Amino acid sequence: MNILRAALCLSLSLSAAAASAQSPTECPSLPASSGLKWQQQAQTDFLLCKAITGDGREVLSLILSARNPDLPLSRPLRQEKGLFAGESLYWYQPDLGGQQPPGYENRRITVVKFDKNRYAQISLYAGDAQELGSLQTLTQGMNLTPTAVAAGR
């Protein structure tokens, strides 16, 4: 997980230094029934949204940016098909350089281009297979149109 977070931080740093496009200012709404709350960090060219459980565990991170994070998503790590913001995607197990820490089998990552020059990088940190399925369903229902985000949908 530390390698993934380091790669994520490096990707964000490079994006922040290189891009000048404006990003959305709010995370998309989460269903009240999910029990999750966003922790939001807005920068000049990206928005980081972390979904946190009631006990403080991060289960989902969403980075919205105008720049392609250009993550190498290896086909052998490809897992389930899914959707996000109306776009088809594949979920991947993260490449942690051969390490498989506890819970690795329930972690997923993907990148989606969902509009002209708009990207979402999504990471899931599920505690078990059931939570993984719930998080994938949750992300499938997220709406990122500017009017939906502004209206809290």
Q: First CA to last CA across the chain, in angstroms?
A: 31
Q: Say if residues 109 and 101 touch (Cβ distance below 8 Å).
A: no
Give the pTM: 0.77
What pLDDT, on the 0 to 100 scale, is given for residue 144? 74
Torsion of CA 134, 127, 40, 118, to 10 degrees: -60
pLDDT tens-digit readout, 63-93 = 999 999 989 899 999 999 999 888 899 999 9
Kindly report, residue by residue over 12-34, the tens digit of the pLDDT: 444 443 333 444 458 998 988 99
pLDDT of residue 124: 97
pLDDT of residue 145: 57
How many CA atoms within 13 Å lie on the side-chain side of 132?
18
Q: What per-residue confidence (pLDDT) applies to 49? A: 96
Q: Which residues pair with 68 in a beta bridge?
A: none
Q: How far is CA 8 from CA 109, 122, 123, 134, 153, in A?
A: 11, 11, 10, 23, 27
